[in-house]
Amino acid sequence: MSFITPRIAVVGLGAALLATAGCGGSGGKLPAGSDLLKQSSTAMSTVTSVSFALRTEGQPGIPVKSADGKLLKSGDAQGSMQVSQLGLSVQLDFTLVGNTVYIKGLTGGVQKLDKSAVTKQYDPSAILDPQRGVSALLAKATGAKTVGKQSVNGQDAYDVTATLPKDAAASLVPGLAKDVAGEVWISTKDHRLLKVKATIPAADGKTTGAVTVTLSDFNGKFTITPPAS
């Protein structure tokens, strides 16, 4: 297994948490999208852990096809994902603990590498960092518009569209060449993100795909430990 494999795994974590937002209120008139993004940015800045599920549509220009896992604010994470390597779909289990990343495929043992080999390309601890991650991205999103209310996993949510600036998103998904269109579903109860859908340019630069992420188990008491060798 080559170095590209753990890098893909960590980039997948960033992809999995690419866009976000939140707010509250009820009644006939919808809250302003810009207010919802600000409220969500504040709410997400206090999140210490989260479960995530990522799914893709079409051919977005990222190597991850799907991912499920748990993430701590410290940057520790654990889960599984499907990635594209040399035209093949590869299933990987990943664990990030402290300064070490562990990767295991369907065959073979666990590969252990120093986390610094990955953070040169992407730092997963940025995801829940209020100054660098999701919270900062929401604060810098532009053109927000509340377009309706929907139910997401049984919870009422505001549906907000916005443009996510590439510079702010770079800490989460490296390599974006331009701003991306996003749609976020924000809990009406606690302002947290429940789901996000982002339009991502395809690798060929001519078409687009989409990445949809759902978040749950906010501030869950997760314990992430290294896998057995």
Residue 42 is predicted with a pLDDT of 95
Q: What is the pTM of this model?
A: 0.81
224 falls within a domain: no
Q: Residue 51: which domain range?
A: 4-216
- Note the pLDDT of residue 3: 40
Average pLDDT of the chain is 80
Distance CA 22, CA 190 (A): 8
- Give the DSSP H or E segment for 216: strand 208-216
Classify residue 127: in a domain, yes or no. yes
Q: How many domains does the chain have?
A: 1
Would residue 47 count as lying in a domain? yes
pLDDT tens-place string over residues 65-114: 888 889 999 889 888 888 776 667 788 888 889 889 898 877 778 889 88
36-54, pLDDT tens digit by residue? 999 999 999 999 999 988 8
Nearest by Cα to 71 from 101, 53, 51? 51
Q: What is the CATH number of the domain that holds 197?
A: 2.50.20.20
**Considering the domain boundaries, does residue 56 fall inside one?**
yes
Residue 84 falls within a domain, yes or no? Answer: yes
